[in-house]
Structure 1
Amino acid sequence: MTHLIHDVARLTPRIRRLKGQVAALEKALAGQPECIAVLTQIAAIRGAAQGLLLEVLEGHMQAHVAGEKNPARRSAEVAAIHKVLRSYLK
């Protein structure tokens, strides 16, 4: 996972944005929020999580799939990605 070490500068702002959105939702729920505001915040959180997932997935595919010379390892990486995406898209 050395690619993650190199991607920290790009991933950290996404994680901080996601944390801020979750904190804002928690704060809103402590008050008297409008339903549509809560739904909007949840949609924003999902979008932020999806953006983070895609960013990490792209790095993983470049580092562990595209350049993998061993067909068995490449196939195993594709299967692992497939499992993650299946879980995410449920």
Structure 2
Amino acid sequence: MAHIQQNKKKIITRIRRIKGQLEAVERALQEDKDCYSILQTLAACRGGLNGLTGELIEEHVKNHVMVSPLDPKTPQDEAAIELVNLIKTYWK
């Protein structure tokens, strides 16, 4: 949890950006904007959420799963890195 506290300002900034994008979707719907614009903004929201989630998962793995995150040599550390990379690839 300490790793989240260290990056709290950055995380909150990203959340506010995502919140702004969601508010833009709401405004677009209220203003009867075209579907393409709405879907494009929703895609940006999804990308923002996926990116934030991926970063939080990576930090969690580094701080709570890996034996030596700065010098990953154990099979467990290598598997953890592979898992994080797989998750990030899946969410792109």
What is the DSSP-based 3-state SS (H/G/I as helix, E as strand, rest coil) of the residue aligned with 2:65? helix
As a proportion of its length, which structure holds more helix?
Answer: 1
* 1:1-43 deviations in Å (ceiling 9; x for gaps): 1211111122122111100000110111111110100110110
How many residues are matched? 75
* Map of 1:28 onto structure 2: 28
CA contact (8 A) 1:11 1:55 kept: no
Q: Counterparts in 2 of 1:41-56, with a 5 A limit?
A: 41-56=41-56
Q: TM-score, normalised by structure 2?
A: 0.70
Percent identical pairs in the alignment equals 36
Letter of the 2:45 counterpart? I
Alignment match, 1:40: 40
Q: Report the 3-state secondary structure (helix = DSSP H, G, I; strand = E; otherwise coil) of the residue aligned with 1:32.
A: coil
TM-score (norm 1): 0.71
In structure 1, list runs of 5 or more residues that go unmatched.
69-73
CA distance in 1, matches of 2:17, 2:54: 15
| Misfit runs of 4+, over 4 Å | none
Q: In the alignment, what sits opposite 2:72?
A: none
**1:6 alignment partner in structure 2:** 6
Equivalent residue letter for 2:25: L
The root-mean-square deviation of aligned C-alpha atoms, in Å, is 2.3
Structure 2 stretches of 5 or more lacking a match? 69-75
